[in-house]
Every structure is written in C-alpha cells, then in structure tokens.
Amino acid sequence: MNSISSIRARLGVTQMVMADALAVTQGNVSHYERGQRMPPDVAARLIRYAQSMGHRVTFDEIYGMSALEDMQQNPSGCASNPLQS
C-alpha cells in the first residue's frame, strides 16, 4: 500500500473527501496513490488536514526516504529517463 493511500485509510476518508480537503481533484489523489509525487504545497495541506482530524502526518511519511534520496539526486523534480544514454 502506497503511503498516501495508507494515510487516507488511516484518516478514514474517500479519495473525493481527501481531494476536497486538499483542493485537488479526485483524479489527483488517485495519481498520488499510484506513485505520482505529491507537490510540497499539497503535502503541507495534507499534513494540516490530518492534524485537524487528530492525526500526525509528516513530510517523511508522505515522501518516504527513497523519494527524498531521489529528490537529492535529481533536484529538478523530474524523474530521469532510463532510455537516455
């Protein structure tokens, strides 16, 4: 289970409810749950939303260590293309 989907399950909300709370579309939430990186401003809104519901969520939990390492290796935020040589 992806970290975003596990956070959503912990909050006990649907994708649509989370989308409304984060000011994104339900499709965005679905993409985040399938591995698309959540923008930092949306992550900050998720942290505040979870806090308002009595839950603690951190950036580390949202992005995980591998995502942080990837961001350090590729600061532009774009995934490297394995087909390029």
Whether the Cβ atoms of residue 25 and residue 19 lie closer than 8 Å to each other: yes
Which one of 1.10.10.60, 2.120.10.80, 1.20.5.440, 1.10.260.40 gives the CATH number of domain 3-73? 1.10.260.40
pLDDT tens per residue across span 12-67 = 999 999 999 999 999 999 999 999 999 999 999 999 999 999 999 999 999 986 54
How far is residue 84's CA from residue 35's CA, in Å, rounded to a whole number?
22
Helices (H), 23-75: 26-33, 40-52, 59-73
Rg over alpha carbons for the chain, rounded to the nearest Å, is: 14
pLDDT at 69 over 90: no
Domain map (residue ranges) of the chain: 3-73
pLDDT tens per residue across span 34-45 = 999 999 999 999
pTM: 0.75
Binned at pLDDT 50, 70 and 90, residue 82 comes out as very low
